[in-house]
Amino acid sequence: MPQDWSIERAFMGPQQQLVHVTPIEQRVAYKVVSYTDHVVQTDLQAIYRKWYTKIPDTGNPRSVELARQMRENAGSDAAYINAVLAKFHDEEYFYTLQPPALGSNPVDRFLFDTQQGFCEHYASAFAFMMRSAGIPARVVLGYQGGEVNPLGGHLIVRQSDAHAWTEVWLEGYGWRRVDPTAAVAPERIEYGVQAATLDGIGETWGFTAPSQFLQDLAMTWDVLNAKWNEWILGYGPETQNKFMEWLGMDDPDWRKKFLLLVGSVVGFILIISAFMMLRYRPPAKDRAFILYNKFVRKTDLQRRVGETAGEFAVRALAEDKLPVDNVNSVTVAYLDARYGPENDIALSRLKTAVAAIP
């Protein structure tokens, strides 16, 4: 039950609904403190009692007779509620997203003939049986459950999580929530949400649940979409003020906001520039290359563009710049150190060969 909320111009409606005074036409974020244990409306006025026990004057006679007979046998309202839930659980009632059509006298048809339906069938039939026995009842539409996104830490509530249940009014307790759909035995649940996708074709092909890769991809996209809505689409005056307060600026004027904007843009450009410099900076020269350059300088020659170590050795020998042994030992050691298995032995040989050249 919502108790405290941060959104302005909102109030608690007569049916325990958090209502905004004007239609909400854009995405909003707000905080709510709720309590799972609560008592609501322990005193029910006569006008509401009459309203929530009203049933049509005609139709569904078998359901009315069954309800009144079960209430008389139960002895109390609470016992009668449990008896109706036990009926859904013990008898051959099935949960399915593809129930047969009911036609006239729909509650009678559901309770005595088809015994198949989804949450709205069970919620409406249960409310009808409560009202037929003189117990105030109403159907509630909302959402049940959801999926926690492990990446963003938030709960995803989809349209497929829509659900219907009931509330009954008991003397001394007020309105109490009852979910008759949950009373159906698990082995008689024919179709779940996943299996109902594409009229059951997914279940036939064995695709009743998404693969882990697709699940991770969907969760990642959901996080990106949530952050986009939170920081881009939802960035308004309230978010601006919270950000300024976080920076230690209480009630900032337009000059401070302008300076903050300029500073943010400059800081963003500096961060991008630093990233680009780190990303595209040339790789550091390894020790083998540094030692080989010392050898090249001792030959008094310049390496040509694209010239390999072997080609340079041939040219150095042709110019008769250094002894053959020195050129060959440096070249072999350099190739081993630069392109061979990574170890310190070849590098040590190269260092010794370069140092041996006068």
Domain boundaries defined on the chain: 1-38, 41-193, 212-280, 287-355
Write down the pLDDT at residue 79: 96
Residue 269 structure tokens = 């450009």
40: helix, strand or coil: strand
pLDDT of amino acid 201: 43
Q: What is the pLDDT of residue 86?
A: 96
Residue 167's CB: how many other CB atoms inside 10 A?
Answer: 21
Q: Where are the alpha helices (DSSP H) in the chain?
A: 46-52, 61-74, 77-90, 106-108, 119-132, 201-204, 212-228, 237-246, 254-280, 287-298, 309-318, 324-339, 344-355
Instruction: List the one residue out of 65, 184, 62, 56 whose CA is nearest residue 111.
Output: 62
User: Considering 77, 108, 119, 121, which one is annotated as catalytic?
Assistant: 119
For residue 168, the SS3 value is strand
Say whether 20 is catalytic. Answer: no
With the C-alpha atoms ordered 144, 150, 154, 158, is the resulting torsion angle positive or negative? negative
pLDDT at 298: 87
Note the pLDDT of residue 59.
92
Instruction: Provide the pLDDT for residue 199.
Output: 44
The verdict on whether 119 is a catalytic residue reads yes
Tell me the pLDDT tens digit for each residue of 10-69. 998 877 788 999 998 877 778 899 988 888 888 888 999 999 999 999 999 999 999 999
Nearest CA to 139 out of 79, 17, 52 is that of: 52
* Ranges of the chain whose pLDDT falls below 50: 192-207
Q: Which amino acid is at 151?
A: L
pLDDT at 109: 96
Strands 94-95 and 10-12: unpaired
DSSP states along 214-242: HHHHHHHHHHHHHHHIIIIIT-SHHHHHH
CA 24 remoteness from chain centre: 23
Q: Which of 161, 179, 222, 336 is catalytic?
A: 179
pTM listed for this prediction = 0.59
Bridging pattern class, strands 116-117 and 94-95: parallel
- How many beta carbons lie within 10 A of that of residue 275, not counting itself? 10
Sorted by sequence, the CB contacts under 8 Å of residue 274 that are 6+ apart come out as none
Given a contact cutoff of 8 angstroms between Cβ atoms, the answer to whether 96 and 117 are in contact is: yes
Give the length of the chain: 358
CATH number of 41-193: 3.10.620.30
